[in-house]
């Protein structure tokens, strides 16, 4: 059997990397061998003194989260899409039929699995009042995220972030690019989040289709530029709403579409529009609500469970929104180069090892 090489291997989030170190790098790398610790000035000392050290195995403290959820006004139980369910969560298997309150679903297949959750495509029969409608039609195929133990936090963050974005009233609408939970079903031992289905897959899936094709790689820069602008809009507003996503990476962006832009178009409205059109951000399970903490709080925790540690975490410096911005830059790096980002410091300046290649035919 021919040995697998780095060039013909799909980039992925290798959850079993610690068991199989031969699989290669599945995350960004920060080389701190040449890192020079900066001298503490008055501003840095103030930041450190104001920092709140969280649990070093989590991006937030579970007890704090529990307290916040209990003190919500209105209570999370009063959210219109929160559905409390008594008893144990039903088992999931292909073709099984689920009755969740007034929602009727058939499980189609498992399309993703993480440490605590599984993602299934389902067929929603709830609106099938017309027998002529095909059960496989796009508007009936949805996604459920099944998690044990139940995770009310991601439900809260998604709903609250969309509410704050609505109140923000920005001329660039990013709300369609934020994961929407249609219904959340919460059992004693687990939760089921019902969401729309993104049939185009993730940004990581897209990169894996072109990363070994020289012709496609040569033409990716315009898409990467537009994506960068959209992601900057996205995280500018998320951070204005006092949320840190905490797990920004290519497979947490689902593809929404590929808008057609006429070559040579110089009209900003036609190029950028008034809403984001490329990707949707998902997976808010590691998010931090900064309104939970005193103003100007920074953190010193290292998110050991994350695939991506920002430079501040690796160099023991206080951080807040830097973790999202590092993930944003790393995501664009993956789109441009087809590989994860490698960062090093040179004469006090952080640099990446990737270089642009000009393809000549």
Q: Enumerate the active-site residues.
A: 247
Phi, psi of 350 (to 5 degrees): -80, 130
Q: Is 169 exposed, middle or buried (0-12, 13-18, 19+ CB in 10 A)?
A: exposed
The 3-class SS string of 250-288 reads HHHEEECCCCCCCCCCCCHHHHHCCECCCEEECCCCCCE
- Helical H segments across 106-170, by residue range: 152-168
Cα first-last separation, the chain? 34
Separation CA 228–CA 328 (nearest Å): 8
Tokens of 46: 């103030």
- Which residue reads 């990397």 in tokens? 17
Identify the CA nearest to 318 among candidates 78, 88, 52, 74: 52
CA distances to 138, 207, 214, 219, 356 from 359, rounded to whole Å, are 39, 18, 8, 10, 9
CA distances to 134, 163, 261, 265 from 304, rounded to whole Å, are 46, 30, 41, 45
Phi, psi of 354 (to 5 degrees): -70, 140
Given a contact cutoff of 8 angstroms between Cβ atoms, the answer to whether 190 and 146 are in contact is yes
């Amino acid at each position: 059997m021919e040995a697998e090489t780095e060039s013909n291997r799909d980039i992925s989030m290798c959850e079993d990397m610690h068991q199989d170190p031969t699989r290669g790098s599945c995350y960004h790398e920060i080389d701190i061998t040449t890192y020079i610790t900066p001298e503490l000035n008055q501003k840095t000392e103030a930041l450190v003194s104001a920092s709140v050290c969280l649990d070093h195995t989590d991006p937030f403290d579970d007890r704090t989260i529990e307290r916040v959820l209990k003190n919500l006004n209105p209570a999370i139980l009063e959210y219109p899409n929160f559905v409390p369910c008594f008893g144990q969560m039903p088992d999931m298997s292909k073709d099984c039929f689920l009755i969740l309150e007034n929602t009727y679903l058939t499980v189609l297949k498992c399309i993703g699995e993480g440490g605590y959750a599984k993602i299934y495509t389902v067929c929603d029969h709830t609106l099938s009042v017309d027998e002529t409608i095909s059960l496989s039609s796009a508007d009936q195929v949805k996604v459920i995220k099944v998690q044990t133990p139940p995770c009310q936090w991601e439900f809260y963050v998604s709903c609250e972030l969309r509410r704050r974005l609505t109140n923000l009233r920005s001329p660039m609408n990013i709300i369609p690019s934020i994961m929407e939970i249609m219904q959340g079903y919460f059992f004693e031992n687990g939760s089921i989040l019902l969401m729309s289905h993104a049939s185009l897959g993730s940004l990581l899936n897209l990169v894996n289709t072109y990363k070994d094709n020289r012709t496609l790689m040569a033409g990716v820069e315009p898409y990467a530029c537009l994506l960068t602008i959209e992601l900057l809009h996205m995280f500018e507003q998320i951070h204005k709403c006092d949320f840190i996503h905490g797990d920004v990476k290519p497979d947490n962006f689902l593809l929404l579409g590929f808008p057609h832009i006429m070559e040579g178009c110089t009209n900003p409205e036609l190029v950028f529009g008034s809403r984001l059109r490329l990707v949707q951000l998902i997976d808010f399970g590691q998010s931090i609500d900064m309104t939970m903490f005193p103003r100007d709080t920074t953190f010193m925790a290292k998110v050991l469970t994350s695939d991506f540690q920002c430079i501040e975490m690796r160099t023991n410096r206080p951080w807040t929104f830097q973790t999202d911005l590092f993930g944003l830059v790393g995501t664009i790096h993956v789109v441009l180069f087809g590989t994860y980002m490698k960062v090093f410091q040179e004469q006090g300046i952080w640099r990446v090892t990737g270089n642009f290649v000009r393809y000549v035919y």
